[in-house]
Amino acid sequence: MSMNYTEMAQLDILSIIKNINSKAEYADFKNMLARYFANKAQKQIDALWEDGTINEQTISEWGNERMRTHYRHALHRP
């Protein structure tokens, strides 16, 4: 049976983390993953900017949005 990419990645990650032997190595590993996903997100944001999906006005509007969940109302629904 062939493994998919997610399964292969999980095995690779397990292989890597079994060799982490200190708090410093653990911190380095977490930072490496954070940088990887931050770079990936930045590339996607850059592509949206370049194709005009987002612009200065979009970002300004995001800054003014109220995205708070109204838990009080959600809890008292019938």
Has residue 37 been placed in a domain? yes
Has residue 16 been placed in a domain? no
Query: Does the reported pTM lie above 0.75?
Result: no
> Across residues 53-65, what is the average pLDDT?
92
Query: Tell me, what's the pLDDT at 41?
Result: 97
Has residue 64 been placed in a domain? yes
Has residue 56 been placed in a domain? yes
Has residue 7 been placed in a domain? no
Q: Tell me the residue length of the chain.
A: 78
Q: How far apart are CA 8 and CA 20, in angstroms?
A: 19
Number of domains in the chain: 1
Domain enclosing residue 66, as ranges: 21-75
Has residue 3 been placed in a domain? no
Distances (CA, A) of 60 to 50, 56, 57: 17, 6, 5
pLDDT tens, position by position, 7-30: 999 999 999 999 999 999 999 999
Has residue 13 been placed in a domain? no
pLDDT-derived band at 65 (thresholds 50, 70, 90) equals confident
| Number of Cα atoms under 13 Å in the Cβ half of residue 25 | 7
Has residue 4 been placed in a domain? no
Q: What does the radius of gyration of the chain's CA atoms come to, in whole angstroms? A: 20
